[in-house]
Structure 1
Amino acid sequence: MKKLGFIGVGNMGGAILKGIEGKLGNTAVFAYDANKDKLADLTQVGATAAVSAKEIADKCDYILLAVKPQHLGEVLAEIKDSVKPETVFISICAGISAEFIRERTIPNAKVVLVMPNTPMMLGCGASAMSHDSTVSEEEFAFARKIIGSCGITEVVPTDKMKEIIAINGSSPAFIYLYAKGFVDYADTVGIDKQAALRLFAQSLIGSAKMLTESGMTVDELIKQVSSPGGTTLAGLDKLYEGDLTGDVKRACEACTKRAYELGQ
């Protein structure tokens, strides 16, 4: 029987915990969080509460790290003496490298890195994952099954895990800000904000399906909506004039820079 332990069951850890219910077969699940209130409903998802992070490390062969990056060092210091060579860490801590975990536990610790995003809370997540040769394909497949319980997963090179944060981890916030601009515009011209939000949200869903299912490139999709001399092209001209794509790139670069700072 596999034993999976969660250290941290906040928004993301809690979403994964709920997502795996009934999907991992013969697996015992344990969870610990410094906020004991978050452990109250564990039995409803088939998990057992632990009294400490150390207990998780003592009992489990897979440990999912779901604490804030700035608190991870403290957690690893607590569990260091309980980490075994066969322990597999699954870290969803943004900007944290495998080396960071190994330096604070054991030199050859097995580490799977994950960059999830908040739509995981609705089972619609998009998570980037990576591992190196210390992790077997069987171990990685199990980790991917855990994370995939809440959405899709994509494998990326380990040395790009900080760069990918902007693409899937932070991008929901950028999209929400974009949505705010449309909804605020609707309000200024007398359109009900909730109606506008529903229309725009569905437009996002439909556009996402076009991106993934139409077989067309991004440029082709833009052209498909943009009739010469039409309304869309008039709006696009303003976005090009304001260098929207340049702003997006700069936002991504800022995310990556901060990820490297957090990983020190």
Structure 2
Amino acid sequence: MFRNLGIGIIGGGNMAEAMIKGLIQGGIAADKIEVAEPVAGRRDFLAERYAVGVSADNTKVATGCRLILLAIKPQMVDSVLSGISSAINGDTLLISIMAGVPCSIIESLFPTPVKVVRAMPNTPALALQGATAIAAGTHASAEDMTLAAEIFTMVGKCWQVDEKLIDAVTGLSGSGPAYVLTFIEALSDAGVKNGLPREVASGLALQTVYGTACLLNETGEHPALLREKVTSPGGTTIAGLQALEVGGFRGTVMRCVEAATQRSMELGKKK
């Protein structure tokens, strides 16, 4: 429903690049995408790699776009949005991927009502396997939410939630790739500790996590049920699981997500 719309992206970092890649692979013509990025080298890279339009001028990119993706750092919200306010009208949809910035803050920076959708994607979007949750601002319509969901489905999977839950999304899936990467690294280190060459240990760890995720996704079963299928009485797996329980693995993961959620809430209060 947005294939003929001009799409402006303010900020040209990794997540912006993931969105560009997904939009183009999803059938959006590169000449429909304009990116505002202050770093010349980054502009050159995006233009060369994806053939999108680039500019150092935020207002130039925002002018005339029906859809604008805000892919900037949270601390830049005041200066950037005040700078593009003249280019925004009631028909413009603003999609924000800024962590910790509520829709109400964005809405308050414009003199007239604006349509805002808040999104929390994660870095696997770079491989078109992202997990994104979206929430509607005060003036966003059902059609706007459908449009936002269609965009993020191009880089993975998308869920709609109430905005009050976005901090929990940030703590779980937004920061989650870092937890998973740490787990993969720990598996690899454990393999090396027990005599495996690093290359073999790293490959086994990565494929084990990837394959297990694929299996879980394909079967749709509860993780506990799948775990039972590889846990034989008196076997190696139950011995390993006991060590995880003694180390408080599940409780640690839950506290990890809670800590990240609380930090997201704190960042939002500072705006």
AA aligned opposite 2:41: D
Counterpart CA distance in 1 for 2:40 and 2:48 is: 14
TM superposition shift of 1:215: 3.4
Match of residue 211 from structure 1: 216
Counterparts of residues 62-77 of structure 1 (less than 5 Å): 62-77=67-82
**TM-score, normalization by structure 2:** 0.90
Runs of 4 or more, structure 1, over 4 Å off, are 24-27
Match of residue 42 from structure 2: 38
Counterpart CA distance in 2 for 1:216 and 1:125 is: 21
TM superposition shift of 1:57: 2.6
Give yes or no for the alignment of 1:202 onto 2:237. no
Match of residue 2 from structure 1: 5
Match of residue 167 from structure 1: 172
Shift of the 32–215 alpha-carbon distance from structure 1 to 2, 3 Å rule, reads closer
Match of residue 21 from structure 1: 24
TM superposition shift of 1:110: 0.9
**TM-score, normalization by structure 1:** 0.92
AA aligned opposite 2:256: A
Shift of the 251–225 alpha-carbon distance from structure 1 to 2, 3 Å rule, reads same
Correspondent of 1:221 among 215, 222, 226 = 226
Work out whether residues 7 and 65 of structure 2, in 8 Å CA contact, stay in contact via their aligned partners in 1. yes
Q: After superposition, what is the alpha-carbon deviation per residue over 1:186-234, rounded to whole angstroms, capped at 9, x for unaligned? A: 1222211121111111111221122222232122122111111111111
Q: Which moves more between the two structures, 158-167 or 71-80? A: 71-80
TM superposition shift of 1:50: 2.7
TM superposition shift of 1:133: 5.8
Structure 1 gaps, min length 5: none
Counterpart CA distance in 1 for 2:52 and 2:220 is: 42
Q: Which moves more between the two structures, 95-104 or 128-137? A: 128-137
Structure 2 gaps, min length 5: none
Q: After superposition, what is the alpha-carbon deviation per residue over 1:111-159, rounded to whole angstroms, capped at 9, x for unaligned? A: 1111111111111111112224622333322222222221121222222
| SS of residue paired to 1:197 | helix
Match of residue 242 from structure 1: 247
Give yes or no for the alignment of 1:105 onto 2:101. no
Work out whether residues 184 and 209 of structure 2, in 8 Å CA contact, stay in contact via their aligned partners in 1. no
| SS of residue paired to 1:59 | coil
TM superposition shift of 1:247: 0.8
Match of residue 14 from structure 2: 11
Shift of the 45–187 alpha-carbon distance from structure 1 to 2, 3 Å rule, reads same
Q: Which moves more between the two structures, 106-115 or 2-11? A: 106-115
Shift of the 163–107 alpha-carbon distance from structure 1 to 2, 3 Å rule, reads farther
Counterpart CA distance in 2 for 1:217 and 1:44 is: 41
Q: Which moves more between the two structures, 83-92 or 106-115? A: 106-115
Counterparts of residues 107-146 of structure 1 (less than 5 Å): 108-132=113-137, 134-146=139-151
Shift of the 37–92 alpha-carbon distance from structure 1 to 2, 3 Å rule, reads same
Give yes or no for the alignment of 1:182 onto 2:183. no
| SS of residue paired to 2:68 | strand
Match of residue 155 from structure 1: 160
AA aligned opposite 2:23: I
| SS of residue paired to 1:161 | helix
Count of aligned pairs? 264
RMSD: 1.9
Shift of the 216–22 alpha-carbon distance from structure 1 to 2, 3 Å rule, reads closer
TM superposition shift of 1:43: 5.8
Counterparts of residues 71-86 of structure 1 (less than 5 Å): 71-86=76-91
| SS of residue paired to 2:32 | strand
Shift of the 195–82 alpha-carbon distance from structure 1 to 2, 3 Å rule, reads same
Q: After superposition, what is the alpha-carbon deviation per residue over 1:65-120, rounded to whole angstroms, capped at 9, x for unaligned? A: 11122222221122223321222111111122101111122463211111111111
TM superposition shift of 1:58: 2.2
